[in-house]
Amino acid sequence: MSIWKAWVFVGIVACVPVWPAWGAEEMPDEKAMQEVHEVVKQLQARYEKTKDLQADFTQKTRIEGFERPVISSGKVYIKKPGRLRWDYLDPANEQIYVNHDDVKVYVPEHKQVLIGKLTHMAASQAPLELLQGAAKLEESFEISPATGKKERGAGGLRLLSLVPKGRETDPTRHVQRIVVEVFPKTYFIRTVWLHEISGNVATFEFSSLKPNLGLGEEVFDFKAPADVEVVKAPVLN
């Protein structure tokens, strides 16, 4: 299941999430919040200095009701402002190009390219906002310490729990929360857990990060081969 399929998949079952308010006994302690603020500060500082980024990724998607996760891998390219290319290399070849709100999904095996608008096609833009807007996390998300079985990541750094702002009553919202782990020292994003209302969890692990390579526009511009069928994407309601 590709990241695009992960975004769209959550649109199959629409429901309105109800976010529990923090009770007095549930409020994160001051030390935990200080650690979170420090991670966010370092993370944002790193991405403010990053003009483009290339990385390898592995994606593991656990779908509610299925015993085995779906695993895939490939490369991702990011360039400010608003450019993203997501290449799946295994087990199947698929390429996703994002230019602000314009999206093209190319599947060589099917000789098709799906074109449309991100705001019309994706059930959730939160993953893209995270990857492209890591320098402005506090503008897009409510941030708190991650809780549960795993509260710390590599190097003992706090995991971040992100809830998209201002969309609690949006019936098209399907992302419950996003948990983020960063690399020690560099503070680039290492792992993202995307928790959906449906119970599905998509995990993205990044490696071999190469910032500021000077990636050219040609990396992000898709030119369809002559024998490729162009299909307009459906609009999700």
Q: What is the pTM of this model?
A: 0.80
For residue 19, being part of any structural domain is answered with no
pLDDT at 185: 92
For residue 77, being part of any structural domain is answered with yes
The tally of domains found in the chain comes to 1
| Contact between residue 200 and residue 209 where contact means Cβ atoms under 8 Å apart | no
Q: Quick one: three-class SS letters along 34-91?
A: HHHHHHHHHHHHHHHCCCEEEEEEEEEEECCCCCCCEEEEEEEEEECCCEEEEEEEEC
Distance CA 196, CA 227 (A): 37
Per-residue pLDDT tens digits of the chain, which is 237 residues long = 444 444 433 322 222 222 333 443 455 688 999 999 999 999 988 988 999 999 999 999 988 888 898 899 999 999 988 899 999 999 989 999 988 888 899 999 989 998 888 776 654 455 555 665 565 777 778 899 998 888 999 899 999 998 877 655 554 457 788 899 999 999 999 999 988 888 889 899 999 999 999 999 999 999 888 889 989 877 654
- Which token pair is 124? 């959730």
- The HSE-up count of residue 116 (CA atoms within 13 Å, CB side) is 16
Residue 159 identity (one-letter amino acid): L
For residue 124, being part of any structural domain is answered with yes
pLDDT at 234: 72
pLDDT at 204: 92
For residue 46, being part of any structural domain is answered with no
Supply the range of the domain harboring residue 220: 52-232
CB atoms < 10 A from the CB of 180, how many?
24
Q: What is the CATH number of the domain that holds 188?
A: 2.50.20.10
Nearest to 130 by CA among 218, 189, 206, 213: 189
For residue 132, being part of any structural domain is answered with yes
For residue 66, being part of any structural domain is answered with yes
For residue 35, being part of any structural domain is answered with no
For residue 138, being part of any structural domain is answered with yes
- Compute the residue count for the chain: 237
pLDDT at 64: 81
